[in-house]
Amino acid sequence: MPNAARTLPDSTRASLVWLLLLSSAASCRHSRGGIDRPEATLSARQDAQAAFRALRAAWFSGSMSERRKLEPDLRTFLARFPNDEPADMVRVLVAFDSVSRGDLTDARVLIAQVREHVGAVNDFAQVAEAYALLRESKADAAWNVLEPLAGKIVDPDERLVFGELRLRAAAAGRRYGRALRAAEELLSEAPLEAQSSLEDMVRELFRNAPKADLVESLATFERAEVDDGATSKARATTGSSSRNACSFGSLAIAAASVTGAAGFCGTSLVSLSTWP
């Protein structure tokens, strides 16, 4: 399951429960009054927004197991605020959790309930659908869903999930050229705190790739960069960055995973074809 591998504070769950209880109490007060007063409606919406912000932050910062633990609170939110604006995003988050535990039917029911007019949320719902396809071992189908979204997912948290799934789909489909490009983009955009876990993931994904296929993809990738006139710029950028020890950091990881090389800095990607 895609995640940024950041630690969830111990107090988060208690805070979420407290927010949802407050929201529930506000809802009860409204029903006893018989008529929703404007100030009461505003208060309920504020409660919903506060609960949503806490849930969303906890979900994106959590590991797979931590996200699953949030599912009861997410479903409680949907029961309390089924028609509020944040409800669609909550449905998408629950859909991700459902896919991660193998319940693809439930996930797709939730995805279908996302209102199409909520554009950005609907785009992220398609990322959840791609995750379901990947769980069904339909890697190329997952890629085909994700690729048109490449320029549309702009939220940093959502883009990190999108980028990881895009990489996984390419690697699972043995499309190593795509995977290298996706890996480079993912690591270049990821926050510092996520770099280590993502590098480990890239290394693992390429570990079992056939050497010949990966060498060919690496060489093709470098030639394309040279043709675009982008190699020197990329090297200058990554060379001054504390996030990567050498140019084309994710490509170095991929190459070292297959060849067993201890280092890769300063080595032409094309020269990999001569490695033992």
Query: Which residue from 99, 171, 173 is spatially nearest to 139, judged by alpha carbons?
Result: 173
Helix (H) or strand (E) holding 175: none
Q: What is the pLDDT of residue 21?
A: 45
Q: Residue 22: CB partners within 8 Å, gap ≥ 6?
A: 47
What is the model's pTM? 0.73
Give, as one character, the DSSP assignment of residue 248.
S
Cα end-to-end span (Å), the chain: 35
pLDDT along the chain (276 residues), means of 10: 53 50 47 47 77 96 93 96 92 97 97 85 96 97 97 94 96 92 92 90 87 76 60 44 42 56 38 32
Q: What is the pLDDT of residue 251?
A: 57
Q: What is the pLDDT of residue 216?
A: 76
Q: What is the pLDDT of residue 45?
A: 81
Can you spell out the DSSP letters for 78-105? Answer: HHH-TTSTTHHHHHHHHHHHHHHTT-HH
Q: What is the pLDDT of residue 173?
A: 95
Domain boundaries, the chain: 174-276
CA pair distance 207, 187, nearest whole angstrom? 17
CA quadruple 165, 182, 184, 159: dihedral, nearest 10: -50
Q: What is the pLDDT of residue 95?
A: 98
Q: What is the pLDDT of residue 31?
A: 44
Query: Which residue from 63, 52, 61, 65 is spatially nearest to 92, judged by alpha carbons?
Result: 52
Query: Which residue from 173, 169, 172, 174 is spatially nearest to 186, judged by alpha carbons?
Result: 169
Q: What is the pLDDT of residue 212?
A: 79
